[in-house]
Amino acid sequence: MGLIAQRYTLDLMGASQQLQLRTWPPQVATHFSVTIPFTWEAGRWYRMRFEATHEGPDAVLRGKVWPRDEAEPEEWTISGTHEAGNLQGSPGFFGNAKESEIAIDNVRVEPLDAEGSGSR
């Protein structure tokens, strides 16, 4: 399960117990990814927040994942900067479930500022 913003994906990779930020797969020439270990529990709901902004020509990406019944953490769970990255793109959802269902609930998309330099 994952979120899409500014042509990047925040992917909660269940089978490998990892969390990853990455460009869309077709962008092989400009591929970018950051992957960290992330332990999660089957049958438990999680909240996700994905923020994509830019600083000059660089895309700045930040993601959080936490159990639904806990308070949102102050710190970002994962972050990365893609030099000369994607500076625009639509929000969306990503899913790749082979052995289970994906459920999406309580969705909110917010602009970060009036100039449109990112989405959350």
Q: What is the pTM of this model?
A: 0.81
C-alpha 6/C-alpha 86 separation (Å) is: 6
Cα–Cα separations (whole angstroms), residue 21 to 43, 107, 119: 23, 20, 15
Q: What is the pLDDT of residues 51-105, one digit of tens each?
A: 999 899 999 999 999 999 999 999 999 999 999 888 888 888 888 777 777 777 7
Enter the tokens of residue 47: 């909240």
Q: What is the pLDDT of residues 72-83, one digit of tens each?
A: 999 999 999 999
Query: How are strands ordered across the β-sheet holding 8-13?
Result: 33-37, 18-23, 8-13, 2-5, 92-94
Q: 3-state DSSP call for residue 25?
A: coil
pLDDT band per the 50, 70, 90 thresholds, residue 110: confident
- Strand-pairing partners, residue 34, are 21
Q: Is 117's pLDDT higher than 60?
A: no
